[in-house]
Structure 1
Amino acid sequence: MRQVTIAAAAYPLDWLEDWSAYEAKARAWVEHAVGQGAGILVFPEYAAMELASLGGPEVAGNIEKALHEVARHRPAMEQMFAGFAQQYEVYILAPSGPVIEGDKRLNRAAFFGPAGRIGHQDKVMMTRFEREIWDVSAGQGLQLFDTALGKIGIVICYDSEFPLLARALCEAGAEILLVPSCTDAIAGWSRVRVGAMARALENQCVAVQAPTVGDAHWCPAVDENRGAAAIFGPPDTGWPETGVIAEGALDTPGWVIGRVDLDLVAQSRADGRVLPFAHWPEQLSQIKDVTITRETPVET
């Protein structure tokens, strides 16, 4: 059995007086998850935006200045999480946040392991807010992380609502999909939740949703945050009948912990009650032509 314990964060954004306050908060969160046996820790999308508070109220309260302030602290944040991963010998998907590269602003989630930084995934599907207001650019390409605990792909928030992205990762070997999210309404959280569950169903894999929660009215970009952390699997033999491995309460900060046997992923894909992962290509021959049949009006 290849069992792994996963921790998904429902993470509140706090006002930070200085860097040491951020480091203390992050360490406490990591130590809490490690204390519960977690080997993979997943922080949310845009959880790095609390670093905007380090620039003071005027910076944090300006959407454009907040983005640049968080990007400025990114190297230090990555160094910190790399140190945590090495010290506690765990894998950590750090809080995603803005990165500025040339004329592009990207939403990047970096991934760390016991040996340090492994790589990163940039969000590839931008929401309307990112496209139309924040001018955040789409990343290019997908990354599969082959680790000692399993093969891991990342679909950031809105990315999870586009099945071909997760499909490509799972065809490349992904057994776990990490889904960090940041949504300001129940509808948004529900869309990502449904997306994560659907990706676990059709790819017969594990999907892990980690959202931001609570209010941060001092930063308009992330002022309201709704959601619950959860870990999903396919509702198949050996998995929970609902597909819900673990789920927290709505808008409640803390870790949601779930233990999964990754051998079940291979078993489900090879011999599940249904075989959506194997049968996926059969769709292609059916969608080449769509026949439109119009109703014949009834004479009166």
Structure 2
Amino acid sequence: MSKTPFIAATAAFPVSEPRSFAEVQDTITRWVTEAAQRGARLLVFPEYASMSLAALFDERVRSDLSAQLDALQTLRDDYLALHERLAREHGVHILAGSFPWQTAPQRFHNRAWLCTPHGSDYQDKQIMTRFEREQWAISSGDAAKVFDTELGRLGVAICYDSEFPLLVRSQVEAGAQLLLVPSCTDAAAGYHRVRVAAQARALESQCYALVSPLVGEAPWSPAVDVNVGAAGVYGPPDRGFPDDGVLVVGGLNEPGWVYAAIDLEAVERVRANGQVLNHRHWGEQRGGVAGLASLLLR
């Protein structure tokens, strides 16, 4: 793992209505090139940023949630290959916008690919929102994991997953010092749930959390018609970090990158000698909860 601080870029990425896959390639290439030229080595795109691809199909397909899922599979290999190529060419790590990835007949997972200069791997969303499970038939995929990269060890918590402390804690206990949180929310309340969750995970595990939201409107899409959020990078409100834990946050619904310097040695320092030691003291709460349950049963 590198001990050298690096620049991370997290996107408030706008949903769009492209007319060709070449237009999609041009858009993503332009965004990656811009961030790389600004010195970013880690680039984070949002949950379901891939859903703009559904605009490439006819009206019958793009207005039907189930038909979209089937049709998108014809583009998934090219979509992944684009991000893999850009990661190699620019020498950067890219979390691609997540994709509804088919693994069996009528079985789809919300999958985010982490593409590095040396290869790629994926994280599936673990816990589905009501929309995903009740209307869209997206299901949980492979278990949560951590990624060992030359930048450091990181975890990916896709949107709703970030709201579940034990899920993220399993990644932290596996060594994650950096949490990537791609999101897609259709209301301000949803954005704030994810932001509050990301800040809570950064506090309790004394780590960085990078939030990348999909933004803008796509009236033609039943999946991503309205998208609300702001890109941000958060840390623990403790020594070596801002008092409020906010390293940077963009404007609400304003497309663009936000950049932050990531220093994983600062994570090691605050975990070892912070004003408080949330990361170290995590296990102590289990006895407290058991004791409370015992008291309530008397």
Question: How does the TM-score come out when normalised to structure 2?
Answer: 0.96
8 Å contact kept, 2:198–2:209: yes
d(CA) in 2 for partners of 1:254, 1:7? 10
How much identity, in percent, do the aligned residues show? Answer: 45
Q: Which amino acid aligns with 2:157?
A: V
Q: CA offset at residue 52 of structure 1?
A: 0.3
d(CA) in 2 for partners of 1:267, 1:15? 45
Q: CA offset at residue 260 of structure 1?
A: 1.8
d(CA) in 1 for partners of 2:196, 2:210? 12
User: Could you tell me which residue of structure 1 aligns to residue 296 of structure 2?
Assistant: 292
Q: In terms of mean alpha carbon deviation, does 284-293 or 181-190 score higher?
A: 284-293
Q: CA offset at residue 72 of structure 1?
A: 2.3
User: Could you tell me which residue of structure 2 aligns to residue 145 of structure 1?
Assistant: 147
Structure 1 unpaired stretches of 5+: 295-300
Secondary structure at the residue paired with 1:287?
helix
Q: Which amino acid aligns with 1:148?
A: E
User: Could you tell me which residue of structure 2 aligns to residue 58 of structure 1?
Assistant: 60
8 Å contact kept, 1:51–1:69: no
**Partner deviation per Cα, 1:32-80 (whole Å, 9 max, x = no partner):** 1111111000000001000001113332121111222223211110001
Q: Which amino acid aligns with 2:23?
A: A
2:110 aligned with 1:107? yes
Secondary structure at the residue paired with 1:72?
coil
Which residues in structure 2 correspond to 1:42-57 (within 5 Å)?
42-57=44-59
d(CA) in 1 for partners of 2:24, 2:140? 28
Q: CA offset at residue 165 of structure 1?
A: 1.2
8 Å contact kept, 2:123–2:142: no
Q: Which amino acid aligns with 1:227?
A: G
Aligned with 1:76 (options 75, 78, 81)? 78
d(CA) in 2 for partners of 1:151, 1:79? 23
Q: Which amino acid aligns with 2:57?
A: G
d(CA) in 2 for partners of 1:40, 1:56? 35
Q: Which amino acid aligns with 1:116?
A: G
Structure ID, larger Rg = 1
Aligned with 1:14 (options 16, 22, 25)? 16
User: Could you tell me which residue of structure 2 aligns to residue 124 of structure 1?
Assistant: 126
d(CA) in 1 for partners of 2:205, 2:71? 38
User: Could you tell me which residue of structure 2 aligns to residue 178 of structure 1?
Assistant: 180
8 Å contact kept, 1:83–1:116: no
**Partner deviation per Cα, 1:229-256 (whole Å, 9 max, x = no partner):** 0000001111011101111000000001
Q: Which amino acid aligns with 2:289?
A: I
Q: CA offset at residue 293 of structure 1?
A: 9.6
Structure 2 unpaired stretches of 5+: none
Cα RMSD of the aligned pairs, angstroms, is: 1.3
User: Could you tell me which residue of structure 2 aligns to residue 88 of structure 1?
Assistant: 90
**Partner deviation per Cα, 1:131-150 (whole Å, 9 max, x = no partner):** 11111111131121111111
d(CA) in 1 for partners of 2:154, 2:37? 22
Question: How does the TM-score come out when normalised to structure 1?
Answer: 0.95
Q: Which amino acid aligns with 1:261?
A: D
**Partner deviation per Cα, 1:152-207 (whole Å, 9 max, x = no partner):** 10000000000011111111110100000000000001100001000000000000
8 Å contact kept, 2:49–2:99: yes
Q: Which amino acid aligns with 1:3?
A: P
d(CA) in 2 for partners of 1:207, 1:70? 30
